[in-house]
Structure 1
Amino acid sequence: MTLSAFLHVQHLLGTGHAVRTAAIGKALAARGVHVTLATGNLLPPTLDTSGLEVVQLPPVKSPDAVFNRLVTPDGTPIDDAWQKARVTETLKAFSARPYDLLLTETYPFGRRQFEFELSELLKLTRSSSRKPMIATSIRDILVRKQELWKEEWMADQALAHYDRILVHSDPEFVRLSDSFPFAERVEHLVRYTGFVGGGPRPVPPEGDGEDEVIVSCGGGAVAKNLLEAALDARPLSRRAGDTTWRLLVGHDIPEADFAAYCARASKGVIVERARRDFPGLLQRARLSVSQAGYNTVLDILIAGVAAVFVPFAQVKETEQTQRAEALATHGRAVMTPEQNLTPERLAAAVDDALALPRKETHVRLGGAEESARILLEDLKARAV
């Protein structure tokens, strides 16, 4: 009998959540599992979802880094009617077939804005005659909450409803307890999978990326400061002013803004949209300049390229700063704050990073495949 898995993912600004979940889905599908990927936002065009049944739920996103309101792709604020429609579509998708596994990405360790939906999904699983195993998929570092009770609520929810917590990190590098004060309470549910990513990607055309400075920003929704500084930093760099700077502009950045960046680009600066062969560009590059999102950092570690991190740290965001600090501590990168970023400061960081001795940082990879192995092992044990 073919096993079935229902994966729920909701990304709000960056695309890393969707990328990791799709990778886990593909690893499960490669082992013969029928996988439904229910996405609460529009998937990036660079994401490979072949082999997955994709269900597009009514899409929603955050319009900014405050994360205190949600809007549809055209900017319309959501209301009670929208929430009811979203719940209806999610439950309909989950009821389309009997599922052996429900995996929620981030929730309950985040995404409390979607409790209206996910609490109903969990309730439906409890009333199902074929009760699925319930797991959650979380990245290496959680965003710390100012109110401790919110973090305690996360642990309570996990203990009440979940059979497994997959943490996508190398425990020798970063542990759940580094960013979650109640990690000990849920430790018996936790399995570390290694980092998710690093799979095959297209090889860039000959010459692309060779000895270049690659400036990237993921989806790009919160990358204005970095891109603005990078456009003018090249002639200010002593160690990288002689090479091509390639700025990869995320697909979440409007076409008008993209056109403006292209028009501003001076000699030696290439501006183009984000590319699926990004990891291959890093393999050839002199330096990477980026934010410190999960997937980007992983690609940089695998490539072994020198790096400057400008972590996204607006409002209450702590995750990227903590990740960038960890690599800087290992002598693996230079970090410069996003606040008050200027072309001069970025150029100085570039020069500092290129002065660092080359280091190899060996981290545990294969997180998608290990996640699939753990989940199938859990399902097998459950059936005994």
Structure 2
Amino acid sequence: MKVMFYVQHLLGIGHLVRASRVACALVSDGHAVTMVTGGIAVDGFPPAQIANVRLPALRSADDSFSGLADEHGREADDGYLADRKNALINAFDEIEPDCLIVEAFPFARRQMRFELLPLLDHVKAMPPGRRPMVVSSIRDILQPKSAKRDLATARLVQDYFDLVLVHGDGRFATLDETFSAARLILDKTAYTGMVAPDEAEPAAADRYDVIVSAGGGAVGENLLCTSLAARELTSLSTARWLIVTGPNLPDEAVLRLQSSASENVEIVRFRPDLATLLRQARVSVSQAGYNTVADVLRAQCASVLVPFAAHGEQEQTIRATRLEAAGLAISIRSHDLSPEGLARAIDAACGQDREYPASLLLDGAAATAGILRERNEAFKRDRSA
């Protein structure tokens, strides 16, 4: 099966990381995958074994997603957006996929309607015998929207999509809890389990006791600085600390962190083996994005979560609150973050008696490959009937 996988990251890199994990599982299952990416280039994503078509880059103009900018921070004008739309449709025509996966849309990434709706109309106009299966790939917890907005999203699913893959375990979170129109697309919805890293990854040569990470880094400076200030107040002040800033933290912020770090603190922008390092760590300090939480659940290490909650964002807070209620993490609201409070949370997390559900589904990437293979066979049979 030829798969075209569209993914657009605007602020962090979580969407790109999750999509890359799914794409690798599809390749391992024998599918030919091309990822079509439209964000700022990130080294290592997608991995080298995945074919990649890069659209002219777009990013969020700020952390409130108020507009779109090019890779140099300039406002993306109508001509730039038209070039992207045409490049996307041309890529689709060249790939000729049997399956088109669209990451996040229409549940999120409404900023990309200028190119995704024309693409979906292009697909819909194809002869039935040539039209690919169209799939939406979404995380388990969405940013809650109004009932009117959810209804509009459900109608787009009904009009354009054959399947919605929810990358979560329905026993932890169900789509209807953060998407009020879930009942309208129930027949098109399938849960894959969480897209966590491969359990069989080898142990890392390095070992750190405390790992502080900030996802892509664009909105993580306060967490990183507070973690450094909290270090001396914890019982792990002499242990080895690793600070992973993320590729999008500004250079001047990295320099500020480096100037305040002690000998037993290592500061890096990125570690491709972060998920493996977490398995050997005593505690993780991070935001509560999907991928970081998936990494922590696979690693089963102690966890302190400081969810990103600016501009009304609720998704990470919902996830962190649920994990804390399950006894699997300690959560601190971002407006309550202080060195003293974070130090107490780190020590408390290290002493927490955690019981991870043995049946929690974390192999969502491999499950996605199986679901798509099965659904595509049914789709082809229906198409030829």
Residue equivalent to 1:25:
23
Task: Spell out the pairing of 1:125-136 with structure 2 (5 A cutoff).
Answer: 125-129=123-127, 130-136=130-136
Secondary structure in 2 aligned to 1:349? helix
Residue equivalent to 2:339:
343
Counterpart code for 1:158: V
Task: Spell out the pairing of 1:134-173 with structure 2 (5 A cutoff).
Answer: 134-145=134-145, 147-173=146-172
How far apart, in 2, do the equivalents of 1:68 and 1:48 lie?
27
How far apart, in 2, do the equivalents of 1:81 and 1:283 lie?
47
Counterpart code for 2:158: L
Counterpart code for 1:348: R
Secondary structure in 2 aligned to 1:204? coil
Are 1:247 and 1:270, in contact at CA under 8 Å, matched by a contact in 2?
A: yes
How far apart, in 2, do the equivalents of 1:35 and 1:230 lie?
39
CA shift, 1:256, in A, is 2.9
How far apart, in 2, do the equivalents of 1:171 and 1:24 lie?
18
How far apart, in 2, do the equivalents of 1:258 and 1:203 lie?
28
- 1:253 corresponds, among 229, 249, 255, to 249
TM-score normalised per structure 1? 0.94
Are 1:218 and 1:274, in contact at CA under 8 Å, matched by a contact in 2?
A: no
Seen in structure 2, the aligned counterparts of structure 1 residues 176 and 286 have a Cα distance that, compared at 3 Å, is same
Residue equivalent to 2:106:
108
Secondary structure in 1 aligned to 2:310? coil
Residue equivalent to 1:270:
266
CA shift, 1:354, in A, is 2.1
How far apart, in 2, do the equivalents of 1:314 and 1:265 lie?
27
CA shift, 1:134, in A, is 0.6
CA shift, 1:358, in A, is 3.1
Residue equivalent to 2:326:
330
Are 2:147 and 2:181, in contact at CA under 8 Å, matched by a contact in 1?
A: no
Are 2:243 and 2:265, in contact at CA under 8 Å, matched by a contact in 1?
A: yes
- 1:242 corresponds, among 231, 238, 241, to 238
How far apart, in 1, do the equivalents of 2:226 and 2:326 lie?
26
Task: Spell out the pairing of 1:277-288 with structure 2 (5 A cutoff).
Answer: 277-288=273-284
Deviations 1:264-321 (A, max 9, x none): 1134322222201112221111111000111111111111111100001111211111
Deviations 1:173-199 (A, max 9, x none): 111111111111111111000011212
CA shift, 1:48, in A, is 4.9
How far apart, in 1, do the equivalents of 2:152 and 2:289 lie?
26
Residue equivalent to 2:204:
204
How far apart, in 2, do the equivalents of 1:48 and 1:81 lie?
27
- 1:232 corresponds, among 229, 232, 235, to 229
Counterpart code for 2:157: A
Structure 2's unaligned 5+ residue stretches are none
CA shift, 1:135, in A, is 0.6
- 2:299 corresponds, among 303, 317, 323, to 303
Secondary structure in 1 aligned to 2:152? helix
- 1:99 corresponds, among 78, 97, 100, to 97
- 2:58 corresponds, among 48, 54, 60, to 60
CA shift, 1:67, in A, is 0.8
How far apart, in 1, do the equivalents of 2:2 and 2:8 lie?
20
Residue equivalent to 1:381:
378
Are 2:46 and 2:52, in contact at CA under 8 Å, matched by a contact in 1?
A: no
How far apart, in 2, do the equivalents of 1:320 and 1:14 lie?
13
CA shift, 1:340, in A, is 4.4
Counterpart code for 1:169: G
Residue equivalent to 2:362:
365
What's the RMSD between the two structures over aligned residues? Answer: 1.5
Are 1:5 and 1:33, in contact at CA under 8 Å, matched by a contact in 2?
A: yes
How far apart, in 2, do the equivalents of 1:74 and 1:202 lie?
38
Secondary structure in 2 aligned to 1:315? helix
Secondary structure in 2 aligned to 1:84? helix
How far apart, in 1, do the equivalents of 2:25 and 2:273 lie?
20
- 1:49 corresponds, among 47, 50, 61, to 47
Secondary structure in 1 aligned to 2:371? helix
Structure 1's unaligned 5+ residue stretches are none
How far apart, in 1, do the equivalents of 2:21 and 2:351 lie?
35
- 2:36 corresponds, among 21, 35, 38, to 38
CA shift, 1:338, in A, is 1.1
Residue equivalent to 1:16:
14
Are 1:46 and 1:275, in contact at CA under 8 Å, matched by a contact in 2?
A: no
Residue equivalent to 2:115:
117
CA shift, 1:201, in A, is 4.8
